[in-house]
Amino acid sequence: MDETYPVRLNINGVAHQFEVPAWVTLLDLLRERAGLTGTKKGCDHGQCGACTVLAGDTRINSCLTLAVMQNGRDITTVEGLAEGDVLHPLQQAFIEHDAFQCGYCTPGQLCSAVGLMNEGQASTAAEVRELMSGNICRCGAYPGIVAAVTGVMGLAQRRDDIERPYTPGTVPA
């Protein structure tokens, strides 16, 4: 039997206490112990961003961190972005810009975009693309995702289109 360790987390504003083996990732704790299945497991190797959550204000890949390493922290998952029935502005913008197809990457895209905004490093659509490049969308919904994020951030819409024209039916890198 694996030795277990206490882990206290404040998840989406609610205090939780768990007893987990040291090898349990934050992603597995969220999905399998806390029942918060909004956070998705894509690659489980830090390559796709589907598991992105916020630790404090910082976006992290929850598959790459052990739950015990986050002991005592505030964790926000996609379930914690809305205020009751009122969607987070990014969630609303994703709907308005048709920024998803299957939706598997969407929770990670949303949490990553919140983290991006907290970082304050992106001032153009090109920088949004670059700084969101760790979040892969298998459906190629990138034009809508970038439009949604830049819209919420109040950045000039598609200012970099002159440099990187988007042709419908193609997937920008």
Six-digit token string for 35: 């029942």
Among 82, 95, 102, 156, binds ligand FES (CB under 6 A): 102
Stretch that binds ligand FES, among 3-11, 28-36, 103-111, 119-127 (CB under 6 A): 103-111
N residues, the chain: 173
- Considering beta carbons, is residue 49 or 115 the nearer one to ligand FES? 49
One-character DSSP codes across 82-138: SBTTB--HHHHHHHHTT--SS-SSHHHHHHHHHHHHHHT---SHHHHHHHTTTS--T
By CB under 6 A, residue 132 contacts ligand FES: no
d(CA 44, CA 134): 13
Stretch that binds ligand FES, among 2-10, 44-52, 65-73, 80-88 (CB under 6 A): 44-52
Tell me the site size for ligand FES, rule CB under 6 A: 23
Mark the segment that binds ligand FES (CB under 6 A) among 66-74, 97-105, 118-126, 161-169.
Answer: 97-105
User: Distance between CA atoms of 132 and 127, rounded to whole angstroms?
Assistant: 8
Q: How far is the CB of 91 from ligand FES (least distance, A)?
A: 14
